[in-house]
Amino acid sequence: MNEDGIAWIARADLSWLGHCVTLARGLSPEQLVARLARGHEPVSLGEYTAAAAETHLTRRDQERGVGDSIAVRYGDAGGLAFAVAHGDNWPGRMGPGYTDGLSNDGADVFQLYWEKENPKLPPPVFAYFRDGRYMCGFHMCMNSSQEITGPRPDLVRGDVEAAGIFSETDGDLAHSKSLSVVEQRFRLTLPKTLVLQGKLPTALIAGQA
């Protein structure tokens, strides 16, 4: 699987909860993190591996007695800023419904979101935003909506149909195929070894108090 793309995400555990990955073209990593903080001032935590970040946030919430910490590990790859969510509290507080302003001022923002441990089993979702507007998105799995939403479904419809994603009966394969489609269509990448095993700058974006 291409380590320089994003299709590998379908078969990797970015966190035990699933994943929320935000990629941006036209923003620096620091600008992306500031926008993800949604009006709060991000707090730098230093550099962490994925496992160490999860441990730190769990311990922090236990010590504070408040379970609201969310952090992102972030960086730049192939001209794309990226931010990967960590902590037990990002599901339902990032991703769909929490994207206002992310792509303002001409930026292109792409989000990959999957609540793996949600008992309602929502499908993994892809969404693309440009210059403050939602452009297109779709469920990257079988047994879910086969609609490509947004004003520009044409950006991905041909590739999605050619890949047979909505008729694929293997959910993991549909997810992987979907990621391959948007990887190629929008030239997306996320460094696998660095994200899964390496240390990255980490910032708290919620639970600062």
Angle at 102 between CA 98 and CA 103, to 5 degrees: 135
pLDDT tens-place string over residues 97-146: 899 999 999 999 999 999 988 877 788 999 999 999 999 999 998 555 67
Q: Do the strands 70-77 and 80-86 form a parallel or antiparallel pair, or are they unpaired? A: antiparallel
Residue 13, pLDDT score: 87
Residues 144-183: tens digit of each pLDDT: 567 899 999 999 999 999 999 988 888 889 999 999 999 9
Task: Write the CA distances from 9 to 68, 113, 151, 189, 208, integer angstroms.
Answer: 25, 11, 27, 10, 29
State yes or no: pLDDT of 2 exceeds 60: no
pLDDT of residue 137: 95
